[in-house]
């Protein structure tokens, strides 16, 4: 149930309605090809309202293409995408009004101040004129940039730029925030800071967060559920704990009897009693060829040298 402008009628009306709230995102048999490259090859995915959902996978897995189909920046050539019940192919404007998007590439203007950058997004996203100044101030405060708001973005560190981009996406008060590799290229302290700000805003507003990352450790720590994507397909989906426990159980089963002649390769690569990590789960579901085919997990950093390009 939505009003004419595509926004939710609010919590009271939603509670009164008998129908369950739609998922924030639903993808059914989503396909997208660049010529011969099947970037997204039959993705089924549901992101529940209010959760932090991680789309994980190495470089080239198809994460960005999937995200861009959900944002309506790319068409949906085959399959279906819905955002809070709205069809991304048929109701593009309604979908766009519901989401904030921080792309993998830079979106902040180095020659503007932090405040000017956020104010620009407030105008582009049609935040009512009367509310703009307050909303810009609020968005900057939410990402911890109040004191730096008057400085040019080119003087910001990489972590500050990423938080500025987060403020740009937040200023329209989206119900769904989509972040493509929000922490790539940042040092560990800046990465933690970006995540803490995302979480604080999520807790304050109840918005849904869909994030892509190739950092498995971050996803494990901050995502409610994750989907592991490889070569255009989702290979596993669940809470990080459930995925790790399932692998652990499979490895245990594979070790009995202990003299088994065909041990699971994932088991052989680790000491036998170590708890599996999410990266172990990924290697298990992706099978061999992960590093050769897709560049592995660690070479995406060069895609985003924030500080260099802004400076």
Ligand X SMILES: Nc1ncnc2c1ncn2[C@@H]1O[C@H](COP(=O)(O)OP(=O)(O)O)[C@@H](O)[C@H]1O
**Least distance (Å) from ligand X to the CB of residue 72?**
16
**What is the per-residue burial (b if ≥16 Cβ within 10 Å, else e) of 133-167?**
eebbbbbbebbbbeebbeebbbebbbbbbbbbbbb
CB nearer to ligand X: pick between 7 and 305: 305
In angstroms, rounded to a whole number, what is the distance separating the alpha carbons of residues 261 and 264?
10
Where does this chain touch Mg ion (CB under 5 A) — which range of 58-66, 133-141, 197-205, 227-235?
58-66
**Least distance (Å) from Mg ion to the CB of residue 270?**
28
Site for Mg ion in 166-205 (CB under 5 A): none
**Least distance (Å) from ligand X to the CB of residue 241?**
24
Helix (H) or strand (E) holding 217: helix 216-222
Chosen from Mg ion, ligand X, none, partner binding at 34 (C-beta under 5 to 8 Å by type): ligand X
Q: How many residues sit close enough to Mg ion to count as binding (CB under 5 A)?
A: 2
Instruction: Give residue for tokens 């009164």.
Output: 16
Chosen from ligand X, Mg ion, none, partner binding at 37 (C-beta under 5 to 8 Å by type): ligand X
CB nearer to Mg ion: pick between 39 and 76: 39
Chosen from Mg ion, ligand X, none, partner binding at 65 (C-beta under 5 to 8 Å by type): ligand X
Paired tokens of 101: 């998007």
CB nearer to Mg ion: pick between 49 and 70: 70
**Least distance (Å) from ligand X to the CB of residue 147?**
34
Bridge partners, residue 98, by sequence? none
Chosen from ligand X, Mg ion, none, partner binding at 76 (C-beta under 5 to 8 Å by type): none
CB nearer to Mg ion: pick between 30 and 171: 30
CB nearer to ligand X: pick between 60 and 238: 60
**Least distance (Å) from ligand X to the CB of residue 18?**
39
* Strands, E assignment, 182-306: 208-213, 225-230, 233-238
Measured in degrees and rounded to the nearest 5, phi and psi for residue 169 equal -75, -30
Query: Is the Cβ–Cβ distance between 138 and 102 less than 8 Å?
Result: no
Q: What is the DSSP letter of 176?
A: E
Q: Does 64 bind Mg ion (CB under 5 A)?
A: yes
Measured in degrees and rounded to the nearest 5, phi and psi for residue 187 equal -75, 165
Q: Does 294 bind Mg ion (CB under 5 A)?
A: no
**Least distance (Å) from Mg ion to the CB of residue 185?**
13
String of contacts with Mg ion for each residue 5-44, x by CB under 5 A: ----------------------------------------
Where does this chain touch Mg ion (CB under 5 A) — which range of 57-65, 115-123, 128-136, 249-257?
57-65
Chosen from Mg ion, ligand X, none, partner binding at 60 (C-beta under 5 to 8 Å by type): ligand X
In angstroms, rounded to a whole number, what is the distance separating the alpha carbons of residues 138 and 9?
23
CB nearer to ligand X: pick between 148 and 236: 236
In angstroms, rounded to a whole number, what is the distance separating the alpha carbons of residues 190 and 206?
24
User: What are the residues binding ligand X (CB under 6 A)?
Assistant: 34, 37, 39, 57, 59-65
Residue 23: Cβ within 10 Å count: 18
CB nearer to ligand X: pick between 168 and 212: 212
Instruction: Give residue for tokens 């973005």.
Output: 153
Query: Is the Cβ–Cβ distance between 303 and 104 less than 8 Å?
Result: yes
Angstrom CA distances, 212 to 12, 108, 163, stand at 32, 19, 16
Does residue 257 have a cis bond before it (omega within 30 degrees)?
A: yes
Q: Where on the chain is the footprint of Mg ion (CB under 5 A)?
A: 63-64
């Amino acid at each position: 149930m939505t009003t004419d402008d595509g926004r939710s009628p609010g919590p009271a009306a939603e509670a009164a309605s008998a129908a369950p709230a739609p998922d924030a995102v639903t993808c059914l048999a989503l396909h997208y090809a660049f010529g011969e490259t099947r970037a997204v090859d039959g993705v089924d995915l549901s992101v529940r309202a209010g959760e932090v959902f991680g789309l994980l996978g190495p470089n080239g897995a198809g994460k960005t293409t999937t995200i861009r189909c959900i944002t309506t920046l790319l068409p949906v050539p085959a399959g279906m995408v819905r955002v809070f019940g709205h069809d991304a192919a048929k109701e593009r404007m309604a979908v766009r009004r519901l989401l904030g998007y921080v792309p993998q590439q830079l979106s902040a203007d180095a020659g503007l101040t932090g405040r000017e950058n956020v104010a620009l997004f407030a105008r582009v996203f049609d935040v009512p004129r009367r509310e703009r100044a307050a909303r810009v101030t609020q968005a900057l405060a939410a990402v911890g940039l109040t004191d730096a708001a008057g400085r040019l973005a080119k003087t910001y560190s990489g972590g500050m730029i990423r938080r500025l981009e987060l403020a740009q996406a937040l200023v329209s008060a989206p119900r769904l925030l989509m972040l493509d590799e929000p922490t790539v290229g940042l040092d560990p302290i800046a990465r933690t800071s970006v995540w803490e700000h995302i979480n604080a805003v999520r807790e304050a507003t109840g918005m849904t967060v869909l994030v892509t990352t190739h950092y498995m450790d971050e996803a494990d720590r901050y995502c409610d559920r994750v989907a592991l994507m490889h070569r255009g397909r989702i290979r596993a989906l669940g809470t990080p704990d459930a995925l790790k426990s399932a692998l652990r159980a499979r490895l245990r089963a594979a070790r009995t009897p202990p003299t088994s002649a065909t041990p699971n390769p994932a088991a052989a690569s680790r000491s036998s009693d170590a708890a599996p990590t999410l990266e172990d789960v990924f290697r298990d579901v992706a099978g061999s060829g992960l590093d050769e085919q897709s560049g592995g997990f660690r070479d995406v950093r060069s895609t985003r040298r924030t500080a260099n390009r802004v400076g």
